[in-house]
Structure 1
Amino acid sequence: MIFGTKSNYMLKYQKAKAKLVEYDIPQKDYPKFPLDSNELSYPVIYIISRYAESIIEDDTPGQEEFAPYIVKASQYFDAAVGAKDRTPYDADFLLSGSAAYFLSNDFGSSKVLCATLFERAKDISTMGVSQIILRNLLGYLLLDRAFPMVSDTSGGEKLCRALSFYYISGDGLPKIQQSMREYREAIYRSNDSMEIYYVDILLAVITIALSKASWELLPQYSKLEPKEWAEYLKSSKAPKMLWPAQQLIGEKDVLNGANAIVQLPTGVGKTKSIELIIRSSFTSNRTTTAIIVAPLRALCNEIASDLAAAFGESVLINQFSDILENDFFVDVTQKSTLLICTPEKLNYIIHHQVEFLDGIGLYIFDESHMFDDENRGTAYELLISEIRKHINVKKQIVLLSAVLSNAEQIRQWLFNENGVLASDPSIKTTPKSIGFASQTRDIHYYSEDSEQEDFYVPRSIEIVSLKKLGKERKKRYFPELTDAKDIAIYYANKLCRNGGAAIFANQARSVQTIIRRIIELDSRGYDLSGIRKCSNTLEMNRIAKLVADHYGYEHPYAKACLMGVAPHYSSLPNGVRLAVEYSFRKKDLHLVICTSTLAQGVNIPIKYLFMTSFMLNQNSMKVRNFQNLMGRTARSGMYTEGSVIVTDPKLFDNKSDRIKGGFYKWEDCVKMFDSHAAEPCKSSILWLVQNIKINYKLHIEGAYIANYIINNYSQPNCFKSCFEGLLQTYEEKTHIPLNENSAVTLNFALAVRQHVVEAIENHLCFVLSNDENADAQIVASETCKGTFAYFIANDAEKELLIKIFNAIAQKVKTVNREEIKRYSETMLGINDSLVIETWLAENHFVEQSLTDSEILEMLLSFFMDTHPIRKSKEYFQMICRMWLNGDSFVDMKKETGVQISDIEDICNKLISYEFSFFIGNIIDVIDAADDEGIAILISKLLLLQRKLKYGVCSETAISICEKVFNDRLLANSIAGQIRVESIDTNHIIEALKTCKNSILKFLSVYPTYFSARINWLCR
């Protein structure tokens, strides 16, 4: 065996030495390694040589023999460069490592080492011809660098010309094969051992590259003639070859129109895969209109930006706003149209215009593991179920996710035998090393086996005393070895010079806690130059300026930005989040303090993820959510390895303690890193018939809840009565009331189920509204049987689900058929729609000629009467008016005295989302009769809805938020410069072009993202 136990230990030691350098550990503190890892150089050179030879000679047994070791060879060369103990050989290690990664199909890591080679080894005068050609070819294939010719007498120039001609035209494979044979024979005759070593690697790389060439595979996979791909493949935007993920979707016939569940890890080329699926669909004329559905507006923005760069002017890209309004007119006769929106927006569209689906030929759902999301899962599942009914042999639907452990089960439900599962466990994301901090100041690394430590980094923490402030007497030290946040800050400061770092906090208020601690450390004289030095001071000043506009210069976020640290979470103003992500991608910023929002598809290049907690609020994080978060580290093509470091030392130090539970916490923690332990994606609809777990002793039978719904759903306040009845029953049985925490848990579980039922009710209204002759009970049964919940339920659960759907249908049947359509459009349950109808009638809202301010005041009162406002209710109306006026958070705080964190929640959740959504409901309830007065009222409501969504004071500012960038303060300021209040989204870009220079001057003090966006749109 080439790589036995001894070799594996030597590889671990080599990686350990690289880690010691990474952590800047003094050599005197290095552990005594029992083996010299440098001796592994000869075996790995033999491995790569023999593997290359077997590829050239098409020796299958030889490839099978050496393939298991080629990954280890690449990791060795990579670690040898990182160890910095043989720097004269770095160029050879980088080139050999890049080639070894390439031959193991890890093109992302190959790209990283190749880029490093070009950066560090610019002098090629000492390189042989084969080395130079190999370097240039890898640069051409992976970095889109020019492929220069070489001048030699051995046939290298002839080979280069043959390769260049092929990649330009798609022709000339026989000439390449001939040139390869002749060149190899010439090099072997030279008897130069280094040239012989590199010529075999070069020809193996060429062989692999040609076998995966886009010229060869795209026509083959799409069943189209090469000439139909030629224009694209000759362009600079086309990939020279397909990466494993793209080959997989090709092999599974997805490029030829197959319906598919695509389950691939994060960072393996998903964006390019989506592009190729769309290109194949358009090129084959299967459709002229495709839609991409992604769960977050930010992700929609990113997808739209990436695909706009990929397709240029050849495809019309229309990103719908996520406001629930009628802005979705699409001319489906327009050639090659790509639509992008959230699932809520698509649901809204089809509830208003179901025929919209007839024009769509390709559906792509990104991050499609939302079936059991407590807020969105039911509507998402019913949306997918509805679209499935519109899929025929001419249409295609593709669901993508990195964390669908039961992808085959979802495929069977969604497609039966008319779809495929594209998944391959051999396609792996960039590897992550998992480190655990300890109070011993060491950090312990594990990889595949949680029982077997790979290596440790000794004495990696240096504790220092801090300056006292004011009249303090007590000595203070940093880091405190029991504080997970302190340890995370310490390592981030030490390591972020090597790449982007993120400290994970379980909730937004913890983000501010960590940032305040960083500011305090600075005030106490702690050296944070590790963070400062690797950030772009000018760009961070610009971000600080934007943050200060929103929060004030005295806010911790503004101060942190000046130090090179930025926050990232869902309620952060959208413009700030965009600027932070952009500067992180540009490497102007190296440290973010983030929440789980980062796991939801945002692509920023993180090398280090510091986990301070595995809790989300009071609940343990799901394994698949954590793995999605972990997948954000080590983006392919940017890093060859990522590090996830658990900074709570109690987890490691107490891992053997069974008495106090440390052992079990360690087991739970380790499970988070095991991809096989990820929970299957279930259905939120199925919760209706499943047990409610109150605590480890108490649970409520699912059948009891289901039967209560079946028997009482038509009664007012069904779920409230159920809650009160359960409390009473518990007290009668135990003679004590249910404790407060358990009551809250029960009430929340019932509220979730009420939300599920109301979503089903609205969907049944939608289905019935499109078929006047349909029988409600039949529709309910068929709808239920079409759900994923029914598919995965057992027989008893299926029976209960059918009865629940029928009970809901019984209620829907009581509604006048003419009203059902209107109720379905509100996206609400019938009761909530009736509340709106009653209010409209009692307040004569439609009949009055109301001013804009009168409309706002009436709707504010109505909203506050019907929605729980738990924070600063007495200031809600004032905050709402200031939000509409374009005032900043800091101005709102000055006026109301409410904490900015509360204002942030009120504005971004209650006002921007719930109040805006509520006005959309009111618009849908109002009968849009052919009446001029009603039309004027609806136009006013629509404008108010959009102003509430974005927090701006004019239609022009709205258009900037929707089509340019969504930052309310900048949008209001730019709208003021344009000096026209009512420019719609169709004309905003032209308006910007007329003021481009003055706008760019205004934006020069703000983050670069905004100027770059203006320049790109106004090009």
Structure 2
Amino acid sequence: MFGNGQLLTPPTKQLALSYPLIHTIRSNRYCRLNSTDRHDKSNNPLCNAFAITMSDWKSALPQGVIEVLQEEGITTLYPPQEKAVPLALSGKNLVLAVPTASGKSLVAYLAAVKRVLHDGGKVLYIVPLRALAAEKFEELKRFERLGIKVGMSIGDFDEVDKGIEHLDILIATSEKADAIMRHRSDWVKAISLVIADEVHLMNDPDRGPTLEITLTKLRLLNSHLQVIALSATVGNSKEMAEWLDAEHVASEWRPVKLKEGVLLADTINFTDNSKRAVRPLGDTVWSLVKDTIDEGGQVLVFVNSRRSTESLATRFSKLNKEKGDAQIKEQLDDAFRDEQTSIGSSLKNCMSHGMAFHTAALSNEQRRTVERFFKEGKIKCIIATPTLAAGINLPARRVIVRDVTRYEGGTNVPISVMEVKQMCGRAGRPRYDPYGEAVLLASTVEQSHMLFENYLLGEPEDVQSKVGNERVLRGHVLALIATDTTNTRKGIMDFLRRTFF
């Protein structure tokens, strides 16, 4: 399923949407649309004057694409997609900044398919994680019956995969994309569209510079390159759009209402001033997990270390009295038939009791098994590190953020508002839940106030370039010289001016 799927006939609900008014010049003005129906814009003449007509978006797509979408249950667009799709299909650069699970991927997929089938171009789809690359690969493969060849490259960063020249769409991590650029693959010269998924991760000091440098190189190599950048809601997405000479579409709209709150003692206090009691069971996190399972829901628990994921999943599997039926046991036996590692054995045991853990320590096959069983409702709870929130499509009824700090440089440091919002955004399953709940944990009234003010009511941080780090900069400048991208002081300075730094 693409993204989370979309309702054939969306339920009537109160919407509050922000549409940037972008035409010949960029503007800070936004029109605000309030309506009881997503298609009723008649009560707002300002929005009506600037709205993009969507009557012909289907006719702009290559033959056969509509049929693929219909098979996935998609016949209409979400409000942010209504703004973004015409821009993407017309070949414009685009920065799409919307909350998690609001349909960013579909916009990119439609642009990629049109670029290949109509224009004969090549598409590079850059993702931050291998697990996310695998998800995008599976989703884009649904278009292969139209004559598109889709491939994935996530292996050795110093090698260029054989057969890459035969691909139309290549999905790669930013590190692998950088390696392909350094090898001057002929395929790179044929790229006419690059999609940067989770582009706000340029803010990451470790992986961000590689993505930023790669985008800058690609734009330097091909001045006519179309760039589509998909971002979570961040403070300066408009500034990122200006950097990429792109149109800017930003919205707070979500397909499922999100209730965010803090659990203190046995009560969740939500930002909308509502409250909810939770029966205490001696363990705060388990109380919330059991409460969700008893309601027939699923839950994601985010913790700050790999060790905690496995230990919590093991503990909860012992507390959960329900076991999977014989069919689920048989499917687990089949999935773990050749498993010989201790972590695999531990994972299988947890999954047999409806629990699982998800970290980078798992193999690709183990991660896929966990994700598949969760999507099929065969396991009820996943305990994960925050990397699971980075784009992987696993929504749940409730999200629990246990930790808002991580261990770095010998001490615990607060995680960003952006990361917390990403995790919270996984709450709510389109077509299944009327709303999603995201819950942070507090042990004192003072801590509860801090969590509300700093995270739930706080604004996401601006994305800041991390290219200026001396160690990072040295490596990328040497790569520019080694690949003959530029070899003069002036050329290097000109290149760096093209980055987001």
Normalising by structure 1, what TM-score?
Answer: 0.42
- The answer (yes or no) to whether the contact 2:233–2:460 under 8 Å persists in 1 is yes
C-alpha distance in 2 between matches for 1:271 and 1:780? 34
Which 5+ residue runs of structure 2 have no aligned equivalent?
A: 1-11, 14-32, 41-50
Q: Is the 8 A contact 1:296 1:342 kept in 2?
A: yes
3-state DSSP of counterpart to 1:512: helix
Deviation at 1:487, TM superposition (A): 1.4
Q: Which structure dedicates a bigger proportion of its chain to strand?
A: 2
Structure 1 residue 504 corresponds to structure 2 residue 293: no
**1:666 equivalent in structure 2:** 449
The residue correspondences of 1:747-762 to structure 2 (distance < 5 A) are: 753-754=470-471, 756-762=472-478
Tell me the CA shift for residue 511 of structure 1: 1.6
* Deviation digits for residues 411-470 of structure 1 (CA, Å, limit 9, x no counterpart): 22222xxx2112234x3352222233232x3333333xxxxx22343xx315xxxxxxxx
CA shift for structure 1 position 231: 4.4
Decide whether the 8 Å contact of 2:261 with 2:269 is kept in 1. yes
Alignment of 1:526-565 (within 5 A): 528-529=320-321, 532=322, 535-536=324-325, 538-540=327-329, 542-543=331-332, 546=336, 549-552=339-342, 556-565=346-355
Residue 242 of structure 1, aligned match among 70, 77, 90: 77
Match of 2:367 in 1: 577
Q: 1: CA distance between counterparts of 2:298 and 2:39? A: 25
The number of aligned residues is: 454
Q: Which residue of 2 aligns with 1:424?
A: 251
Change (3 A) 1:553 1:314: closer
Query: Quick one: distance in 1 between partners of 2:76 and 2:53?
Result: 4
Which of 281, 286, 296 lines up with 1:489 in the alignment?
Answer: 286
Cα deviation for residue 259 of structure 1 reads 0.9
Deviation for aligned residue 1:555: 6.1
Contact 1:437/1:646, CA 8 A, preserved across alignment? yes
Hey, what does 1:923 align to over in structure 2?
none
State the AA in 1 paired with 2:57: L
* Aligned amino acid, residue 243 of structure 2: W
Q: Secondary structure at the match of 2:200?
A: coil
Any conservation in 1 of the 2:256–2:430 contact (CA below 8 Å)? Answer: yes
In the alignment, what sits opposite 2:482? 766
Q: Tell me, yes or no, if the aligned pair for 1:405 and 1:680 is still in contact at 8 Å.
A: yes
Note if contact 1:446-1:455 (Cα within 8 Å) is conserved in structure 2: no
Residue 199 of structure 2 aligns to a residue whose secondary structure is coil
Assess if the C-alpha contact under 8 Å between 1:553 and 1:559 holds in 2.
no
1:627 paired residue number: 421
Superposed displacement of residue 321, structure 1: 3.6
Aligned equivalent of 1:637: 431
Which one has the bigger helix percentage? 1
Please name the residue that 1:514 is paired with.
Answer: 312
Pick one of 341, 357, 380 that aligns with 2:188.
Answer: 357
1:445 equivalent in structure 2:
270
Q: Distance in 2 between matches of 1:679 and 1:355?
A: 38
Computing the radius of gyration from Cα coordinates, the structure with the larger value is 1
**Structure 1 segment 51-62 matched on structure 2, within 5 A:** none
* 2:274 is equivalent to residue 454 of structure 1: yes
CA distance 1:584–1:387, change in 2 (3 Å): same
1:13-52: CA deviation from partner (whole Å, max 9, x where unpaired) = xxxxxxxxxxxxxxxxxxxxxxxxxxxxxxxxxxx89xxx
**Distance in 2 separating the partners of 1:324 and 1:556:** 31
When residues 346 and 553 of structure 1 are mapped into structure 2, their CA distance, relative to the original with a 3 A threshold, is closer
The aligned residue for residue 401 of structure 1 is: 231
Post-superposition CA distance 1:543-600 (Å, at most 9, x none): 4772993444996544322221111111122221110000111111111111112111
One-letter amino acid of the structure 1 residue matched with residue 228 of structure 2? V
For 2:337 and 2:305, how far apart are their aligned partners in 1?
20
Q: Which residue in the other structure is 1:785 paired with?
A: 497
Q: Is the 8 A contact 1:256 1:280 kept in 2?
A: no
Relative to 1, partners in 2 of residues 1:327 and 1:413: Cα closer, same or farther, differing over 3 Å?
closer
Letter of the 1:785 partner, please give it. Answer: R
- Asked if 1 retains the 8 angstrom alpha-carbon contact of 2:181 and 2:214, the reply is no
| Cα drift, residue 640 of structure 1 | 2.4
Q: What is the aligned partner in structure 1 of residue 57 from structure 2?
A: 217
Q: What residue number does 1:681 align with?
A: 463
1:459-470 matches, within 5 Å, as 460-462=278-280
Deviations 1:778-805 (A, max 9, x none): 222212222211xxxxxxxxxxxxxxxx
Structure 1 residue runs of 5 or longer lacking an equivalent are: 1-47, 50-66, 71-102, 107-210, 223-227, 448-452, 463-477, 480-485, 523-527, 656-661, 689-752, 790-1019
SS of the aligned residue for 1:432 comes to strand
Contact 1:214/1:233 (<8 A) preserved = no
Deviations 1:626-662 (A, max 9, x none): 11111122133332211112233x1xx423xxxxxx4
SS of equivalent residue, structure 1 residue 461: coil
| CA positional deviation for 1:325 | 4.4
Deviation string 1:287-324 (CA, Å, 9 cap, x unpaired) is 43111111111111111101112443521112124222
What is the CA distance between 1:358 and its match in structure 2? 1.6
1:540/1:588 contact within 8 Å kept: no
C-alpha change, 1:554 and 1:216, in structure 2 (3 Å) is closer
Measured against aligned partners, the alpha-carbon deviations of 1:659-693 in whole angstroms (never above 9, x if no partner) come to xxx4xx6234443223x61110001123x4xxxxx
Find the partner of 1:301 among 130, 134, 138: 134
Distance 1:265 1:435, change over 3 A: closer
Q: What percent identity do the matched residue pairs reach?
A: 18
Equivalents in 1 of 2:313, 2:75: separation in Å? 44
Aligned Cα RMSD in Å?
A: 3.2
The alignment status of 1:260 with 2:94, answered yes or no, reads yes
Seen in structure 2, the aligned counterparts of structure 1 residues 505 and 105 have a Cα distance that, compared at 3 Å, is farther
CA distance change for structure 1 residues 370 and 510 in 2, over 3 Å: closer, same or farther?
A: same
Matched, 1:587 2:377: yes
Match of 1:342? 173
